[in-house]
Amino acid sequence: MDVISKFDDKGPAWYWNVLHLGEHTGTHFDAPVHWITGKDLPNNTCETIPARRFVGPACVIDVSREVAGNEDFLLMPDHVVAWEKTNGKIPKDSWCCCARTGASEPRRRRS
């Protein structure tokens, strides 16, 4: 992340950053056709996916405590299995595409 302005001469009324992200980090919607496993599915491109497929139950895996203790924490399949043991199996056709990390909260700079 690069700071553009922080309530200074470059931008006295706003704090503004440039984020540099990898392509597959949640910055866009990926249609099934984007992946080899979805390339042959029917209705696999953005303009052909039925609107009803964009709505469904959501499952949130809260790993904010883990992230607070380790900013390099990586969600692994065993975390999902543990979540399911507590909360039940993730339902078919539900959304579970991100985890609550607390990462959007301001961090204190370490000395």
How far apart, in whole angstroms, are the C-alpha atoms of residue 92 and residue 78? 19
Please give the helix or strand (H or E) that residue 77 lies within, else none. Answer: helix 77-87
Q: Is 9 left (phi over 0), alpha (psi -120 to 50) or beta?
A: alpha
Find the catalytic residue in 20, 24, 28, 34.
Answer: 34
Handedness of CA 81, 58, 40, 28 (dihedral sign): negative
Q: Is 24 a catalytic residue?
A: no
List residues with catalytic annotation.
34
